[in-house]
Amino acid sequence: MDKTLQRAWPLSTVRVPALRRDAVLRHRFGPLWLLALAFLAISQLTRLALLIKAGAAGEPGFGHLLQVFGIGLLFDLVAAAYFFVPLALYLFALPDRLYRSRVQRWALLLGAVAWLFLMLFNAAAEWTFWDEFGSRYNFIAVDYLLYTHEVIGNIRESYPVGTILGGLALAALAIAWRLRHALWASLEAPSRYGQRLGWLLLLLALPLLAFEGVDSRMKDRSDNRYVNALAGNGVYEFFAAAYNNELDYATFYRALPLDEAFARLRRQLPTPHARLASAAPRDLTRIVAYPGAEKRLNVVLISVESLSAEFMSRFGNHQGLTPRLDRLAAQGLLLTNLYANGTRTVRGLEALALSVPPTPGQSIVKRPGNAGLFSLGEVFKSKGYEARYVYGGYGYFDNMNAFFSANGYQVVDRTAIPAERIHHENIWGVADEDLFTQAIEEADRAWTDGKPSFMQVMTTSNHRPFTYPDGRIDIPSKQGREGGVKYTDWAIGDFIDRASTRPWFDDTVFLIVADHCASSAGKTDLPVNRYHIPALFYSPKHIKPAEFGRLASQTDLAPTLLGLLNFSYTSRFLGYDLFDLEPGRERAFIGTYQDLGFIRDGKLVQLDSRKGARTLRPDFEAGTAERLADDRELTADAIAWYQAAAWAYGHGGLAWKAH
């Protein structure tokens, strides 16, 4: 080998050299070690702050603290391995002469300020995310990144963003200035490419090893979901959620032989007026046939943002937040034991439009290839109705426009509402009263055209930042959740009052139901009290006041609504008409993007993405759960519903077919 080349690139230097303790900062990668240490410190302090915020729900005993901070440190190190790859490449690539210049001194300082600002910003973002969802980053955070306009707008309307960002910037600058001498120590040490190549290879190998050997589920060692969440790292959890946004049932969950799963589900699907359409072993189609004439009534389905049952006086609330809904409930048919499919709007929309259990991973509303499904809109269209999805925000959010327009609905969103009719709007959309004005106009138009109308209306006002027009209720705008609930209640009552003056009102059924609860956080992975929602059918000329107290699922509302109208049709819904279901067969589905729950006979089967299955006895009031001996039959039925539904969706079994 040429001696000149050997001197310039000695093979002996392509290794990871040992670093003396006093030489760590005087190394080319010294700034990386320093900022990585800051990252670890900020991550652990964030974890401590969230633990304090969780309070007693975090059950901070010695074992849990060891998991939170011990396993948490491991995930912090893994996150750091990914987070600092760009800095490692920069520190390696810069020639020694340029690196040790005066310009680089200030570039290092400014870079450290930027890096520290990102760390502090992430800590603040984690705090606000936990405040809203009781969790570290998950699918929701990934979704929100895709809708920056709405999310940034919501944050700006909810928090003093300028003050917070300014404070974080000043803190980053102060920390960087305090560490400047340690940061500049690396400028004193000459460094050849060969000498730092070994360190670069190690720093690049670490994230590769972490990718192959570390899984987000490794932190889940407790029955307490707060403890498991706190043991994670926000940065790592965000990218893990992005990577795993769809979960194949057969890969991640406990399964039965596929034909056995379908056989079990086919045995459970029929009801007295809904029979299986064929003997094909994987066909879930039913023929629904009721005696007597169909009732061609108009239908307005109002999906209310974050309306937990606990907000209504009927379910024990004493704050007087829902006077109009309480009155409507007394005048209509109230479902008192109903459970939402999930914890996000898209899960509620999926359940109401498609009548399916919450299949694992992302909601069907947001998945590719979700067109042409068997939907409530398609059923009404087949009966000669005008079917509309009416939304006060911009329907591109959460893929709503694409989903509904591809599944039988005409979409009417914020773009259709004239500016002069808007009393108030925030980043999520117009005030609910203005949304309902548009809904009345759509119903008027259908009546004028001589067609029956079906509208699925989605409200937005009961969402942070909880703003609405002044003078409507006795809680000022932007004062919190209670104001959002009470304003939405007022707007629904006002809508019913205005609708009652229209010629189509007497022949209209109103179905008012929550999309999900206001909070999903609890001690357990699936706290059942955080899925309890109200639903009421209101039509004074056609539905007598009553309460229905049997267990019910959000999945059941579409077929129940069609049953009340006495519609006969060929169905691919997986819900029941609750009034055609024999007592004792009730069940409900609840889920997150990973954990799937099946409730029946006072028991909860929880299926997780590690092929786990547990039988629990949930406390429906407190949200806690007692572990029981495994109920094999109940577990097999739970698996059958979820496994067969997931397979059917992926293989055309839930598609719309004209009959």
Q: Could you read off the pLDDT of 320-341 as tens digits, one per residue?
A: 999 999 999 999 999 999 999 9
CA 172/CA 162 separation, integer angstroms: 15
Dihedrals φ, ψ of 387, to 5°?
A: -110, 125
Q: Could you read off the pLDDT of 509-545 as tens digits, one per residue?
A: 999 999 999 988 777 889 999 999 999 999 999 999 9
Residues with Cβ within 8 Å of residue 298, at least 6 apart in sequence: 443, 446, 447, 452, 453, 454, 504, 507, 508, 509
CA 635/CA 134 separation, integer angstroms: 28
Percentage with pLDDT > 70 across the chain: 94
Q: Which helix (H) or strand (E) holds 135?
A: none
The angle that helices 85-93 and 72-83 make with each other, rounded to 10 degrees, is 40
What residue type is assigned to position 136 of the chain?
Answer: R
CA 175/CA 112 separation, integer angstroms: 9
426: left (phi over 0), alpha (psi -120 to 50) or beta: beta
Highest mean pLDDT among 184-188, 343-347, 558-562: 558-562
pLDDT of residue 140: 65
What's the mean per-residue pLDDT of the chain?
91
Residue with tokens 């590769």: 208
pLDDT of residue 301: 98
pLDDT of residue 5 exceeding 50:
no
CA 447/CA 508 separation, integer angstroms: 11
Residue with tokens 């391995």: 81
Q: Could you read off the pLDDT of 575-614 as tens digits, one per residue?
A: 999 999 999 999 999 998 789 999 999 999 999 887 899 9
Query: Topology of 296-584 in CATH?
Result: Alkaline Phosphatase, subunit A (3.40.720)
pLDDT of residue 346 exceeding 60:
yes
Provide the pLDDT confidence category of residue 247 given band limits of 50, 70 and 90: low
Find the mean pLDDT for residues 409-422: 95
CA 439/CA 494 separation, integer angstroms: 13
Question: How does DSSP assign 146-166, residue by residue?
Answer: H-HHHHHHHHHHHS-HHHHHH
Residue with tokens 């000043």: 170
CA 247/CA 237 separation, integer angstroms: 16
pLDDT of residue 138 exceeding 90:
no
Spell out the domain ranges in the chain.
Answer: 11-243, 296-584
pLDDT of residue 184 exceeding 70:
yes
Provide the pLDDT confidence category of residue 13 given band limits of 50, 70 and 90: very low
Residues with Cβ within 8 Å of residue 23, at least 6 apart in sequence: 189
Name the pTM for this structure: 0.77
Closest CA to 592 of 525, 518, 524: 525
Instruction: Enter the tokens of residue 392.
Output: 């006060």
Write the burial class of residue 570 (CB in 10 Å: 0-12 exposed, 13-18 middle, 19+ buried): middle
What residue type is assigned to position 446 of the chain?
Answer: A
Residues with Cβ within 8 Å of residue 623, at least 6 apart in sequence: 522, 523, 524, 527, 528, 529, 530
pLDDT of residue 144 exceeding 80:
no
pLDDT of residue 147: 56
Closest CA to 403 of 385, 377, 427: 377
Residues with Cβ within 8 Å of residue 118, at least 6 apart in sequence: none
pLDDT of residue 562 exceeding 60:
yes
**234 SS3 class:** helix
CA 556/CA 574 separation, integer angstroms: 8
